[in-house]
Amino acid sequence: MLFLLTLIISLIVASLVGHLGHWALHQRWTWVLHRAHMDHHLTQYPPGKLTSDRYRFPKWYNNGLLLFTPPLLVLMGSAALIVWSLHWPWWMLAVLGTCVATLGFLNDWVHDSFHVRRHPLMHLRTYQKLRRLHFIHHSNMDKNFGIVSFVWDRVFGTLVTEK
CB 63 within 8 A of CB 40: no
Among 124, 93, 126, which residue's Cα sits nearest to residue 9?
93
Asked whether the CA dihedral 77, 79, 83, 89 is positive or negative, the reply is: negative
In this prediction the pTM is: 0.87
What is the residue extent of each domain of the chain? 2-156
Instruction: Give, for all 163 residues of the chain, the pLDDT tens digit.
Output: 999 999 999 999 999 999 999 999 999 999 888 988 898 888 889 888 999 999 887 766 666 666 677 778 888 999 999 999 999 999 999 999 999 999 988 998 999 999 999 999 999 999 999 999 999 999 999 999 999 999 999 999 999 998 6
CB 134 within 8 A of CB 143: no
The pLDDT of residue 59: 67
Q: How far apart are CA 116 and CA 108, in angstroms?
A: 13
Among 48, 57, 54, 44, which residue's Cα sits nearest to residue 119?
54
The pLDDT of residue 65: 66
Q: How far apart are CA 161 and CA 163, in angstroms?
A: 7
Can you spell out the DSSP letters for 129-161? HHHHHHHHHHHSTTS---SS--HHHHHHT----
